[in-house]
Copies of this chain bind each other. A is one copy, B any other.
Amino acid sequence: MESKPGDKVRIKTDKGTYEGRLMPSKEGHVLKLDTGYNVGFSDKVKVELVEKYIAPEKENPETGEGEIVIIGMGGTISSKVDYNTGGVHPHLSPKDLLKLFPELSSFPSIKTIPLFSILSEDMNYRFWQQAAEVVYKEIKNGAKGIIILHGTDTMSYSSAALSFMLRQTPVPVVFVGAQRSSDRPSSDSRLNLMNAVFTSTNNIANVGVIMHATTNDDYSFFHLGTRVRKMHTSARNAFKSIGVPPLAMVDYRRKMFEQLSPARERDMKRKTLFDKRFNPNVAMIYIHPGIKPKLIDSLSSYDGVVLVGTGLGHAPTNPNKHPFATSILENLKQLISSNIPVIMSSQTIEGRLNLNVYSAGRLLSEAGVIGSMMDWTPETAFIKLSWILGHEKKIDKVKEEMLTPLEGEITKRSAILSTTYLQVDKLAQPHVGAIGWLTDSPLIEV
């Protein structure tokens, strides 16, 4: 019988026999031992099933009227196919979804709020502000979990925005979407929605995203809202955690909610830090060969700029004054001297910035470009800067806040070496097309 992540398994090697829980992994097998440590094995070893996943005994949170709140913001999960045009339109209210998925009735009583019905490419800060207000109010009124139905295109921007607007929520705020509309037989929305509701009843209190972990209906990942990214135009498992493991793997059918990385615990007494102020006057600029200095000059009416640079965080600076090359260094300096913060991120998506290795980086850093040693995604850097500029104008203060981890959006290098991180650094988001986090260490051969 095939073992799945979550199952108890046994692996025999020359050096001994190991028993533990099978974790998701991209290469080889990873066991979580009872000690809490993970051990990696080459995929040559045989994996014996000891026991299918059995949910640990734990008390369900007490439930009552309207304790789980589903807020509809549109997207494919709330959409129907128009069989005349083949197009997809956001027409389903959260109530309609309850009818489509009768399994939901096994969960605590659910309150539904149809807030917006838009496709997520039209999303912006005004929708985020209104959603944050509604979530804040529902939490104050005793909601034990929040689910937000949302389109997938900009879901990671929205999950980052609500992560900052609603810091330290006492309960989970779970974004969920679908890559195929809910009325289609092949839709991924059933597993996603059921796992979102299941997550919202669990002992975790981050703003995050539930989406398929694999191309099958196996289980979902719960991704931290500031670390997730859509990495494929259409695949079910398009969403990946960048630079960190997902928070948890989730399968409501097996009552599995297996934490994969540090998360915040549910605590109804904790007060949400609510700050919906947001400055939408921020530009996001893709660096590429031949980018024109005048494009940078045209940004003087913005209050902040995020560069999506190359490699470790670079842009053309032409330090050796090559006659063929151009530079945008002076133009960036001009922006910065006008009190416009300029933030670096990388178009490689994965990996940590470092502005200290090459001359371009050092020149940019000396000019005041912010971001060396950070590992944020371009989208989260953009959202964080816009949110900070909602309450802070001084460039030094903006820099200080940008470089301070608030909601898991950056990991300090030293933290990577902590035991907690080492325990999870072998976990991976499996399956073809996955982008996970990188470690230079090979699997431990045992």
Using a CB–CB cutoff of 8 Å, the interface residues on chain A facing chain B are 2-3, 26-29, 42-44, 46-47, 86-89, 116-127, 130, 152-154, 157-158, 215-216, 230-236, 238, 280, 282-292, 295, 298, 308-320, 322, 324-327, 346-354, 356-360, 362, 378-379, 382, 386, 428, 430-440, 442
Contacts and interface: CB of A to CB of B under 8 A. Distances in A.
A78 to B, nearest CB: 13
A220 to B, nearest CB: 17
Given A118-B325, A430-B27, A438-B215, A351 B233 contact: yes
Chief secondary structure at chain A's binding surface? loop
Contact of A154 (B87, B126, B283, B289): B289
Given A153-B310, A348-B230, A235 B438 contact: yes
A51 to B, nearest CB: 17
Looking at A125, A158, A283, A313, the one whose CB has the most chain B CB atoms below 10 A away is A283
Given A121-B310, A157-B288, A312-B233, A438 B442 contact: no
Task: Identify the interface centre among A29, A316, A348, A357: most chain B CB within 10 Å of its CB.
Answer: A348
17 contacts: A26-B26, A87-B356, A118-B320, A118-B325, A122-B325, A122-B360, A123-B289, A152-B311, A154-B289, A216-B442, A232-B348, A234-B354, A283-B292, A284-B286, A288-B379, A290-B386, A433-B435
Given A433-B438, A435-B231, A315 B350 contact: no
Contact of A436 (B289, B348, B433): B433
For this chain, the copies found in one complex come to: 2
Chain A to chain B: the 8 pairs with minimum beta-carbon distance, closest first: A233-B351, A153-B311, A433-B438, A121-B314, A153-B310, A126-B324, A43-B43, A232-B351
Contact of A313 (B233, B238, B378): B233
Contact of A311 (B2, B233, B311, B357): B233
Nearest to A311: B153
Contact of A439 (B44, B88, B432): B432
A231 B310 CA distance: 10
Given A46-B46, A116-B322, A124-B324, A382 B288 contact: yes
Contacts of A154: 288-289, 310
Nearest to A294: B301
A348 B314 contact: no
A233 to B, nearest CB: 3
Nearest to A90: B320
Contacts of A26: 26-27, 430-432, 434
A336 to B, nearest CB: 19
A127 B324 contact: yes
A42 B2 contact: yes
Contacts of A320: 117-118
A320 B437 CA distance: 39
Contacts of A236: 440
A96 B10 CA distance: 53
B121 A88 contact: no
Given A121-B287, A238-B351, 16 more contacts: A3-B44, A86-B356, A89-B359, A116-B322, A117-B320, A119-B359, A121-B315, A122-B317, A125-B289, A126-B324, A130-B324, A153-B314, A216-B442, A234-B352, A235-B351, A284-B291
A313 B119 CA distance: 13
A280 B284 contact: no
Interface centre among A2, A44, A125, A236 (most CB of B within 10 A): A44
Contact of A350 (B123, B233, B322): B233
Contacts of A285: 286
Given A322-B118, A440-B215, A233 B354 contact: yes
Contacts of A232: 348-351, 438
Contacts of A309: 121
Contacts of A29: 43
A28 B231 CA distance: 22
Given A230-B311, A233-B354, A284-B288, A322 B122 contact: yes
